[in-house]
A = this chain, B = another copy of it.
Amino acid sequence: MERKGPPRSIKLPETIEVFRNLNNAKRFAIDIGGSLTKIAYYSVLSYRRAHYSVDGYSAADDHIYELSESARLHFVKFETKYIERCLDFVKANLVGSRESMIGKIIKATGGGAYKYAAVLQDKLGLKVEKEDEMGCLIKGCNFLLKNITDEAFTYHRHGIPEYEFQTADPNIFPYMLVNIGSGVSILKVESEDSYERIGGTATGGGTFWGLGTLLTKAKEFDELLELAEVGDHRNTDMLVGDIYGGNYKAHGLDSDLIASAFGKICYSTRQGQQINYSDADVARSLLFTISNDIGQIASLYAMIHNLKKVYFGGYFLRNHPLSMHTISFSINYWSKGKVQSLFLRHEGYLGAIGAFLKGAEQCGEHYSWQENYVGSSALEPQPVIWFDNFNKDKVAITQLELDRESQRLFCPLLANPASYIPDTVDLNADEEARNYWLDCFEKSIDKYVDAAMSSQADSETAPERAKQFKEKYIKRLHKLRQQPFAYGNLTVRSLLETIEHYMREFDFPDPYVFTKQSENEAALSQLQERLNYLDSLTPKQREVELIIGLLAGNMFDWGARAVVDIMVNENFGLNEAREKIPGRPWIVDHLDLWLERLKGPPHKQAAIFVDNSGVDIILGILPFTLFLLSRGTNVMLCANSEPALNDVTYKELKVILHQAGIISPKIKEVLDQNRLIAMETAQTGPCLDLSRLDCKLAKKMSSVDLIIIEGMGRAVHTNLDAKFTCESLRAAVIKNKWLAERLGGQIFAVILKYEPPYKP
């Protein structure tokens, strides 16, 4: 079986990056299946972050950035026939880490782990440590379900939406995993450590592929799927209607139900009927036969073991719509709707993830992981990669990259964590909204690029990186236009997060860093004046003015094109913003409820999820915060961990509070008393996912009796409909004409939503 490796000169085209960061690869695992191989490795990345100190901002570009490290998990999937070529490529590119690899182990799983042990040892110098396939699958599946946003989905062919992604659920057990590789294994998973292979069938992907190549001209698995997509199984399958001339009512069988797979082939011939069928018809019949069969067997096992959720993994499905449809139909039909069939966006990686995690301390319980939208392939296979070797073989490679994060937890104030959906609008389902927002993001791109460029005006590489950023991001937007489901639920939040991923990937860690700095400084200079003005009001006037000020402050948003135009072209301050706030009633107007509430006892602890830098945080939020503090309420200001647009970050917030304390003795006092504190949310985009809060914050949230969420990203695009077990106040100005009108208002419409604790 030994074969000569390809020459060392293998190069992948520059434009498509596969096997990224091999240079810094620290640990390997591999899952070698009969048809597909998945290599996993862990890399440590250096990247630049904006740096802030309590002394204020550094003006020089050189000083504003510091180097930071982060960890990333890489998974690369390719056909097993290319395994030696890929291992050669890995070996050639290990460079820095090659020395440190010698004598170390590689965790290996999958059927090929046995066969390729010597090759692995030979190519990479790594000692192969075999891991049980099923154990790896389960570990990988648990990991994905717990960590990856929108990992699981139900599929509804021709449905709106076609893909319905499952929200994160803190309780993933028990579930059934049906792994459809060459054969099928059916596993019952009851906890992190307890699972059982309860069944399986030999009719799997190998059967489809094997029979498919015998029955049609197609040789490749994907060719068979393409054929199946255009075939008509009614030319080969005998339907109930073919036999009974209609429905078989006595037993509730519909006329278009398949009575006998391939039953028409002989029946028609023997009945003297002419039948015509194509390769495509045969492929479709075969796909239906095998998918139906697996679906039925899976649903029977699920019923026997009383399991409601069945996840499907393995190479057979490859998230192929027709296969998923047949499986889903079959599960639903045979379980009479009692069992739910769920698919995984990263089903192909389960074994590799599991193998990697076995003993990988870097991936313990105290971390969370986030999919990197730049380095990860979409739900459907990525474009083909060419190896520049003498075989001129096409090698389709797909990738998954996961960035390590500090541990994330659910906000304990959510009334029903299992059904919490951060996003207000599902752009998969809402075509009108999807088209609007994709247009909107595409039109905004130049403003992002401008900001990115001006944040690194001295850099020689910035123009090229900015160009690439723009190209790639627009390409991604086009992809999402075709396949809105490509990276899970398409939402305004995911689109905003994607921008941030691209920005960081092209080394623009904080495009608005200077803007934020100058605006913070300008706003700080007006803080005392604003506080004095508020002091001059009667208590009643003040309570109203604090809300108006908070809303006016929220106008200052570089993410909103309507405002950007005003901010750039006009001399725009808090008072100018106040003028734009529409008269009451607002589209959601709970001001009176809120004022009424203020007559009651003070809150013990408030958490305010803040939005923009500058006027917003300093002239809107800070005075409001001081008011709460004056009532005896302690306040946590919760800010993003990483930059996103001009949103204030946790690090900036700390600087701002320090500087505000210099201006206002009241502020200094509450800071010193720890009655006012800054917390980081662990968010990296301008929205707010309360299922992934920084664990320190999540723990502190338990004592909160008033949650305040500010701004479009956090209180409108997300969390507008969230239910809390404590009182909540959501405040935002809709700085988008289309959305404002959709919500029944006009540009700069106001949402002020006060709710008592949710009682179901």
Asked if A211 and B211 sit within 8 Å, CB to CB, the answer is yes
Number of A positions contacting B (CB below 8 A): 67
- A680 CB to nearest chain B CB (Å): 44
Identical copies in the complex: 2
- CB of A415 closer than 8 Å to a CB of B: no
Using A250-B132, A264-B210 as known contacts, say yes or no to A289 and B114 having CB atoms under 8 A apart.
Answer: no
Using A182-B263, A250-B134 as known contacts, say yes or no to A270 and B203 having CB atoms under 8 A apart.
Answer: no
Chain B residue with Cβ nearest A240? B183
A190-229: which residues lie under 8 A (CB-CB) from chain B?
A: 197, 199, 201-207, 209-211, 213-215, 221
Interface residues of A (CB under 8 A from B): 1, 3, 34-35, 79-81, 111, 114-115, 132, 134-135, 181-183, 185, 197, 199, 201-207, 209-211, 213-215, 221, 236-238, 243-245, 250-251, 257-267, 269-272, 282, 289, 292-293, 296-297, 300-301, 303-304, 334
Asked if A266 and B297 sit within 8 Å, CB to CB, the answer is no
- A56 CB to nearest chain B CB (Å): 61
Query: How many Å lie between the Cα of A250 and that of B215 in the bound state?
Result: 35
Query: How many Å lie between the Cα of A243 and that of B115 in the bound state?
Result: 8
Chain B residue contacts of A203, Cβ below 8 A: 261, 289, 292-293
Query: How many Å lie between the Cα of A1 and that of B251 in the bound state?
Result: 28
Asked if B244 and A114 sit within 8 Å, CB to CB, the answer is yes
Chain B residue contacts of A297, Cβ below 8 A: 296-297, 300
Asked if A263 and B303 sit within 8 Å, CB to CB, the answer is no
Chain B residue contacts of A205, Cβ below 8 A: 260
Query: Chain A contact residues: over half helix, strand or loop, or mixed?
Result: helix
Using A35-B270, A132-B250 as known contacts, say yes or no to A213 and B183 having CB atoms under 8 A apart.
Answer: no
Can you list 9 A-B pairs with a CB-CB distance of less than 8 A? Answer: A80-B271, A183-B258, A185-B251, A201-B296, A202-B237, A203-B261, A206-B264, A207-B262, A210-B267
| Contact residue among B114, B135, B183, B301 (Cβ-Cβ distance under 8 Å from A260) | B183
Using A81-B270, A132-B250 as known contacts, say yes or no to A262 and B214 having CB atoms under 8 A apart.
Answer: yes
Asked if A262 and B211 sit within 8 Å, CB to CB, the answer is yes
Query: How many Å lie between the Cα of A262 and that of B215 in the bound state?
Result: 12
* Listed residue (A135, A258, A259, A266) with the most chain B CB atoms within 10 angstroms of its CB: A266
Using A182-B260, A202-B260, A334-B199 as known contacts, say yes or no to A114 and B245 having CB atoms under 8 A apart.
Answer: yes
Asked if B259 and A289 sit within 8 Å, CB to CB, the answer is no
Asked if B202 and A266 sit within 8 Å, CB to CB, the answer is no
Chain B residue contacts of A238, Cβ below 8 A: 34, 182-183, 206
> Lowest 7 A-B CB distances belong to which pairs?
A206-B263, A210-B262, A206-B260, A210-B265, A182-B260, A111-B243, A300-B300
* Listed residue (A203, A213, A215, A272) with the most chain B CB atoms within 10 angstroms of its CB: A203
